[in-house]
Amino acid sequence: MNSPLSFAQEPPADHQELLARIRFSLDEPMRISDEALADRRKSFTNFRSMTRANCVRVTAKLMPKVYATIKQACENLLLTEEPEVYVESDPAPNAGAMTNGEEYFIKLHSGLIQLLSPEELAAIVGHEIGHASMRHMIEVPENERQATFTYERRRAQEISADRAGLLAVSDPMHALRAEIKVACGLGSEHFTADIDAFIEQISTPPDDLDAPWEADSTHPTIALRFWAQRHFMESDLFHGLKGQTGGRVFDDIEREIEERFHSVGSSAAFRATADHVHESLAWLGILAVAHDGELSEKEHAELRHVVGHIWADDAFAYAKRHGIKAVERRAMETLAPLRFSNRRSRARVESALRALAARASAEHRVEELMRLIERALLA
């Protein structure tokens, strides 16, 4: 079985500190309302009750091998107490964790246990522990625009959980092999353990990078996940947590993963978030340039320069018809879903707004508009 982590650097004090170190930079902790959290807790209680009634719990007496695997994954992740883990009769090689923000449990499909070796299963368990301990997936989108950013957050959460899976085993190759097996549903007897051959296979991008399903996916593509994991494994942070020295600077690697995560050009997921950012900026831009209550063609031109003529023309025409107060209401409506976005998207709005105000000699409006943004994000 796997050996516990050793540390070439100052060891994390506990499980939560370990996860805080490896958490992907775009996987930001989500604050949700008390009402939404209460609903989530109710759903959690009902789902756990149903799981307890219909599935078999993993214990040392009933499933000693599976229990030993879970125990080892927990030790490697500095978790002092094993979570409740249940097995459901289902041939699909899948697993999941559900949390209410405080408690959690894990469900494993029987097909997953039969497919994987104990070390590979430990990686999957570690991945699910990562999700639950980092309080992932407790937010539920209420509308399409929230969903755009919620799904982007969930894709970032997968990057974090993959890192927990890598650390749940002594050899990270177990985690990568587990991912290949889950993707194809085949056991070791059907393919070699040549990770490099698989990476070569997924290294060539497909002809169509603008897949319409991507924006609605809660998981990154396997190509991105594999690349991000191998990249993380090259970092000095990962080396240090594994009791080794060397490795590339983690901050440099994290920036590279961020850039690829935000996509390599015109993917549907990238466009969905970019379009929303531009729309929000168009309404804010009207409020910035029309600081005297009037809209001139010069101000229209400045807005076009920053957000493009389509967004600028539509917002400008709307403002002419309905007035500045109506524009402020639209700004609040489009800004509200940004609270589900990551800091990079919010920073793009704020940076572009400051640039627009400077071009339009409206710097004195910036702080007021920043307060409007803050009010919308806290609504």
If you write DSSP's letter for every residue of 322-338 in order, what string do you get? H-HHHHHHHHHHHHGGG
Residues forming a β-bridge with 85: 106
**What residues contact 174, with CB distance under 8 A and at least 6 apart?**
117, 119, 120, 122, 123
Q: Which residues of the chain have pLDDT under 50?
A: 1-3, 265-266
Distance CA 112, CA 9 (A): 35
Separation of alpha carbons 340 and 111, rounded Å? 35
- HSE of 350, CA atoms in CB hemisphere, 13 A: 15
3 state SS of 111: helix
CA distance 194 to 184: 15
Cβ-proximal residues to 301 (8 Å cutoff; 6+ apart), any chain: none
Residue 179's pLDDT is what? Answer: 93
Interval 87-114: pLDDT, tens = 999 999 999 999 988 899 999 999 999 9
Question: What local confidence, expressed as pLDDT, does residue 2 receive?
Answer: 46
* Residue 18 tokens, joined: 């370990």
pLDDT of 23 reads 97
Taking a C-beta distance cutoff of 8 angstroms, is the pair 360, 302 a contact? yes
Question: What φ, ψ does residue 317 adopt, rounded to 5°?
Answer: -65, -40
CA dihedral (187, 225, 90, 59) in degrees, to 10, reads: 90
Cα 102 from Cα 337, distance rounded (Å):
25
> Which residue type does 69 have?
T
Structure tokens at 147: 């969903």
**DSSP track, 245-293:** ---B-HHHHHHHHHHHHT-SSS-HHHHHHHHHHHHHHHHHHHHHH-TTS
Distances (CA, A) of 293 to 23, 280, 300, 304, 362: 45, 19, 13, 19, 12
Give pLDDT, residue 347. Answer: 85
Give pLDDT, residue 210: 55
Q: Which of 178, 187, 186, 190 is nearest to 225 (CA)?
A: 178
Token pair 């997924």 is at which residue? Answer: 202
- What are the tens digits of pLDDT across the range 122-171? 999 999 999 999 999 777 777 777 887 888 889 999 999 999 999 999 99
Strand order in the sheet with 56-57: 56-57, 84-88, 104-109, 95-99
Reported as half-sphere exposure (CB side, CA atoms, 13 A), residue 173 has a value of: 7
CB 5 within 8 A of CB 166: no
What would the two tokens of residue 163 be? 């890192």
At residue 268, the pLDDT reads: 64
Residue 266: per-residue pLDDT: 47
Per-residue CA distances from 212 to 12, 156, 270, 272 (Å): 41, 19, 11, 10
